[in-house]
């Protein structure tokens, strides 16, 4: 097997940083699913909503040398992502856009994407989906992470024990599940992989 020690130690460093600083990077099982999608689709252009420290962007870019455009609104995360992408020598592949994803359409509107990976504020998934799917190629796929929101989405019995904010998020994610599952334009499957991942393709 081909290994790359520079990348591997960077990946470990990023995972360690995320753990110590509670940055919610994608968990291994979810990443493995996403990497399989990339191996199958071989996307030329990937759009990511929510870069954090650049971990998933780096992992995605490495699979088959795709271009990754990733949107991040938090300045500290943005700066960390930029520096990590430099360390990975992937500045030519990965472009981080420092904006709120609700307002970043203009930055990417001329690009056609083969994969859109949604992994930012859970309450806004529906909006992200509507804003960016017009840029998806006909054969493209949309993957969303954290569809189970740490298991809370299906924890209906205990819903009253959560704070109002968390209840609001659970409600929004449930609405998004319904929206995807009843969508006339997209076929969606939601899998119990990682923290719940959905995959949508055009009908």
Residues forming the site for ligand SAH (CB under 6 A): 24-26, 50, 52, 55-56, 71-74, 77, 100-102, 119-121, 124
For 49, how many CA atoms within 13 A lie in the half-sphere containing its CB?
30
Residue number with CB closer to ligand SAH (32 or 187)? 32
Based on the shown chain and the rule CB under 5 A, indicate whether residue 146 belongs to the binding site for Mg ion: yes
What three-state secondary structure class fits 100? coil
Least separation in angstroms between residue 115's CB and ligand SAH is 13
Q: What angle do CA 180, 70, 138 make, to 5 degrees?
A: 45
Distance of CA 33 to the CA centre of its chain: 12
The smaller minimum CB distance to ligand SAH, of residues 140 and 194, is found at 194
Closest by CA to 142, choosing from 54, 34, 63, is 34
56 binds, among Mg ion, ligand SAH, none (CB under 5 to 8 A by kind): ligand SAH
What is the SS3 assignment for 90?
Answer: coil
Using CB under 5 A as the binding rule, whether residue 48 contacts Mg ion is answered as: no
CB of 45 to Mg ion, least distance (A): 20
- Shortest Cβ distance from residue 64 to Mg ion (Å)? 21
Q: Which residues contact 127 (CB under 8 A, 6 or more apart)?
A: 102
Residues near Mg ion (CB under 5 A): 119, 145-146
């Amino acid at each position: 097997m081909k290994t790359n020690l520079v990348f591997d130690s960077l990946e470990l460093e990023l995972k360690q940083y995320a753990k110590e600083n509670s940055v919610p990077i994608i968990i291994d099982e979810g990443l493995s699913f996403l990497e399989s999608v990339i191996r199958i689709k071989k996307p030329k252009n990937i759009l990511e909503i929510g870069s954090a420290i650049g971990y998933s962007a780096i992992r995605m870019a490495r699979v088959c040398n795709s271009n990754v455009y990733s949107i991040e609104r938090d300045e500290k995360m943005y700066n960390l992502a930029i520096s990590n992408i430099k360390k990975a020598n992937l500045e030519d592949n990965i472009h981080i856009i420092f904006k709120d994803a609700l307002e970043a359409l203009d930055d990417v509107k001329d690009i056609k994407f083969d994969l859109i990976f949604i992994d930012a504020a859970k309450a806004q998934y529906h909006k992200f989906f509507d804003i960016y799917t017009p840029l998806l190629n006909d054969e493209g796929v949309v993957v969303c992470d954290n569809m189970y929101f740490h298991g809370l989405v299906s924890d209906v019995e205990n819903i009253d024990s959560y704070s109002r904010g968390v209840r609001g998020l659970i409600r929004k994610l449930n609405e998004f599940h319904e929206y995807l599952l009843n969508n006339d334009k997209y076929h969606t499957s939601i899998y119990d992989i990682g923290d719940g991942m959905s995959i949508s393709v055009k009908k």
